[in-house]
Each structure stands twice: as C-alpha cells, then as structure tokens.
C-alpha cells in the first residue's frame, strides 16, 4: 500500500519479460557449458575436486579452527614428527576463495597433465610432489632461518596449506612435455612454455604477496626434476602400471570413460598443443557483451520499443562491416507473413513461415578441404563448449587462430 491507502499497481511490461528471458537464457547456457566442461575433466582431477571440497565442508562443519592442526610447517615435521600433515595439508584450504582458485586450477592443469601421463601416473606424481615438496620446503625454511645476510627466524614456523605447491609441480611437468611452443601469460604476453611456470610463480608472488613463495617454489622444483628425468628411478614402469590397472579392485574405475589409461594418453605435438585459454580476454569479452546488452535494453526502454523489436543491424560472421544483414522487425514480419508459392533457394524460410537451418549441399573437393582444414582446432573449440559449425566459421574468420576465434565466440 502507498501513503494514500491505495494499492501499488504492478504491470509486467515487455522489457521486464525480455530481461527475465535474457537472464534465464544466459544462466541456462552457463549451466549447460559447465556440465559439458565437467564431463571433459578426467577421473583423477574430478576426484581431487570432490575430495578437497568434501574435506573443506567437513572441517567447516566441525566448527573448530584446525589450521594449526592441518597445515604444514618445518617445525612440525622436524621436531614433532607429524608426517600426516604432508598428505593432509594439500587437501586443507583456509577459505572458500582459496579453495575455488585452486580447484579451478586443478580442472585446468590437472586435467591437462592427466591426459598426458595417465590417471594412475598422475596419482603417483601427486604423492611424489607432496613428499619431496615437503622435504624441499623444510630445507629452504631452515636455510632462510640461518641466512647470514638476512635471517628469518620465523620461517620454520610458517604454516602452509592448499594444493598450490602440487599444482606448480604439475605445471612444470606439463610445460616441459609440450615442447618448443609459446603460451599466453594471463592473456597479456606470449612467452616460451618452458618459462611459463617460473613466470606464473613470479606473477602470483606479486599479485598475492601473502602466498607462500617457498612452498610454490619447492613444488615447481620437484616438478622440474621429475620432467628432466632426475626422478626416473622412482617412476612407475609401464608393465607395473598395466598390472595395477588390471587389478580387480581398480577395474571398475579403469572402465570409466573419463579414466585415462596408459594406452589412451595424449601424445603432445606442436599442432595440438600450445593453445592457451585467454581467461582475461574471455572475461573482457563477456563484460563487453553484458554491457552491450544492458545498453540495448536501456535504449529500447527509453524509446518505448516492445520486446518483439530487433533494433540495429547484424553482421555476418567473417564478412566485411559494410555488408550487414537487416534484422528489423518489419522485415521479419513481412517474411513470416509471406503467402503461397514455393520457397526459392535464396529464401531461408519454409512455406509455413518458420525459420529453417540452411545447410550447404556443396560436396566439392573445396568444401571437403574447408571441413578438414581446421579439424584439430575445431575439436579444441568444441571441447570448450562451442558448436562445431560455428567454431569452423569463427576459425575461418580468425585465420585459424584459436584464441581469437574463442574470444569472438565468447562475445
């Protein structure tokens, strides 16, 4: 009721319905893309995410501050012999932000490494990174404490937790397996992939000064040692991996479609790797798209245009800016209300006035070459959640550049 005792009059306008439909559409698209991306994550990466999230919920449900009981410090290993922290500290995260960032990194880095080395080898690699990373962390902590130039007596008592050290080790293994390619650092600059782990370490140290540089560096060093063959005597042999995977308790997991066996590993090549997901570019693209939709809705509301209108002109993907496609509502109504006669080849509308998808019937060698030209790169975009036909057109418009095509499709 208002101040005069009358009822407020609420009237659903077309612009409100358009906003609601637009928001629902994008939420469903994000959910669909998230489900598709989760299906592409291999088995051990999924298990790591589920375990870390479950462990975090269990710790929060306990309503106790368990940071001092679960985090890893040099003093707890050397003087208290609390070796259980080596395996518990990577599972423990201090907050939801810490957990979210690390789990996103697990689905990216962990998935890539699992496809390169296999599920069982990744599980074994994680245990090696945790154990040897803890040993290096203890050595570097006491080295900092006894540094004659600048002693840090608090270093042995610093407590660390989270998957970051293991993730830096996985990143070092992945980058050393990819060969001589380049990778984008946060979408800002392209650097050699061999320098990418060190550049990421320095960038994280600058952006997050409270993060443990020593723990991250120890994981990166162990991963580099593993990639350069310094830990080959501790690696699992191929016959042993095949034997363990054929063992009956693990047979149920090995038969899963997301389990990467020793035979189904991805062999890296310069034609299939080196594609970096430009997170910053995607974020800016989505922000531009969101601001553009908001501005369009605001202009439509100010002009009093109904929800059925389509203001402005659309441009065909890959075409020049001068060649635009008229999308006014009047033209659409005239096409939809066309009567009688057969539909010509140039008209993409059926007899009943409904839109139909126009597909190319050209089976010439040129069309076959077009379909196979960017097949590997189309597969990369399809794994990101885009349609194959739209991805092929975007690649042609971008000249075969996958990051540019992905950015244009995300807008």
To which residue do tokens 């370490």 refer?
201
**Whether the predicted pLDDT of 67 surpasses 50:** yes
pLDDT interval class at 261 (50, 70, 90): confident
**Alpha-carbon span 220 to 40, nearest angstrom:** 26
Buried-exposed string 52-88: b where 16+ CB fall within 10 A, e elsewhere: bbebbeebeeeeeeeeeebbbbbbbbeeeebeebbeb
Percentages (nearest 5) of helix, strand, coil residues in the chain: 60, 5, 35
Residue 339 confidence (pLDDT) = 40
Q: Which string of DSSP letters, residue by residue, matches 128-167? A: HHHHHHHHHHHHHHHHHHT-SSS--TTGGG--B-SSHHHH
Q: What is the pLDDT of residues 300-352, one digit of tens each?
A: 455 444 444 444 444 444 444 444 434 334 443 344 344 444 433 444 433 34
Residue 144 confidence (pLDDT) = 92
pLDDT interval class at 99 (50, 70, 90): very high
Q: CB of 207 within 8 A of CB of 280?
A: no
pLDDT interval class at 389 (50, 70, 90): confident
Q: What is the pLDDT of residues 190-249, one digit of tens each?
A: 888 889 999 999 999 998 888 899 999 999 999 999 999 899 888 888 888 888 888 877
For residues 347-376, average pLDDT: 48
Residue 1 confidence (pLDDT) = 44
Angle at alpha carbon of residue 409, lines to 204 and 318, rounded to 5°: 130
**Whether the predicted pLDDT of 170 surpasses 90:** yes
**Alpha-carbon span 378 to 14, nearest angstrom:** 38
Contacts of 324 (CB under 8 A, 6+ apart): 313, 314, 315, 316
Closest CA to 15 of 292, 290, 300: 300
Residue 268 confidence (pLDDT) = 57
Q: What is the pLDDT of residues 30-57, one digit of tens each?
A: 888 888 888 889 999 999 999 999 999 9
Cβ atoms within 10 A of the Cβ of 112, count?
Answer: 22
**Alpha-carbon span 166 to 170, nearest angstrom:** 6
pLDDT interval class at 9 (50, 70, 90): very low
pLDDT interval class at 367 (50, 70, 90): low
**Whether the predicted pLDDT of 380 surpasses 70:** yes
Average pLDDT of the chain?
Answer: 74
Dihedral pair phi/psi, residue 182, rounded to 5°: -115, 155
Residue 350 confidence (pLDDT) = 39
Residue 256 confidence (pLDDT) = 87
**Whether the predicted pLDDT of 182 surpasses 80:** yes
Q: What is the pLDDT of residues 124-148, one digit of tens each?
A: 999 999 999 999 999 999 999 998 8
Cβ atoms within 10 A of the Cβ of 233, count?
Answer: 6
For residues 383-391, average pLDDT: 79
Share of the chain above pLDDT 70, in %: 68
For residues 360-372, average pLDDT: 50
């Amino acid at each position: 009721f208002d101040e005069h005792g009358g009822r407020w009059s609420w009237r659903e306008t077309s612009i409100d319905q358009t906003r609601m439909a637009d928001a629902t559409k994008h939420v469903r698209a994000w959910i669909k893309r998230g489900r598709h991306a989760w299906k592409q994550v291999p088995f051990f990466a999924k298990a790591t995410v589920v375990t870390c999230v479950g462990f975090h919920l269990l710790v929060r449900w306990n309503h106790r501050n368990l940071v001092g009981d679960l985090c890893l410090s040099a003093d707890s290993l050397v003087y208290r012999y609390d070796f259980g922290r080596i395996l518990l500290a990577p599972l423990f995260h201090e907050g939801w932000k810490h957990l979210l960032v690390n789990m996103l990194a697990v689905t990216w880095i962990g998935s890539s490494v699992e496809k390169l080395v296999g599920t069982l080898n990744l599980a074994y690699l994680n245990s090696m990174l945790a154990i040897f990373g803890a040993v290096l962390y203890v050595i570097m902590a006491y080295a900092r404490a006894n540094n004659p130039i600048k002693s840090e007596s608090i270093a042995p008592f610093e407590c660390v937790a989270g998957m970051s050290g293991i993730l830096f080790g996985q990143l070092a293994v992945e980058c050393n397996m990819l060969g001589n390619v380049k990778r984008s650092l946060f979408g800002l600059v392209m650097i050699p992939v061999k320098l990418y782990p060190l550049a990421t370490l320095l960038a994280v140290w600058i952006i997050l000064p409270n993060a443990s540089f020593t723990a991250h560096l120890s994981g990166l060093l162990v991963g580099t040692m593993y990639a350069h063959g310094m830990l080959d005597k501790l690696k699992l042999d191929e016959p042993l991996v095949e034997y363990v995977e054929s063992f009956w308790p693990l047979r149920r997991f090995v038969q899963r479609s997301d389990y990467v066996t020793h035979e189904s590993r991805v062999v890296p090549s310069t034609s299939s790797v080196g594609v970096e997901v430009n997170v910053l570019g995607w974020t800016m693209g989505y922000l531009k798209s969101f601001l553009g939709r908001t501005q369009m809705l605001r202009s439509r509301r100010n002009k009093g245009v109904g929800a059925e209108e389509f203001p402005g002109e659309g441009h065909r993907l890959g075409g020049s800016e001068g060649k635009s496609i008229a999308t006014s509502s009047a033209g659409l109504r005239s096409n939809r209300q066309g009567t009688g006669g057969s539909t010509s080849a140039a008209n993409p509308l059926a007899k009943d006035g409904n839109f139909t998808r126009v597909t190319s019937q050209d089976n010439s060698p040129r069309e076959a070459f077009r379909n196979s030209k960017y097949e590997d790169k189309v597969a990369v975009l399809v794994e990101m959640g885009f349609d194959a036909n739209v991805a092929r057109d975007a690649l042609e418009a971008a000249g075969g550049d996958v990051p540019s095509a992905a950015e244009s499709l995300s807008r």
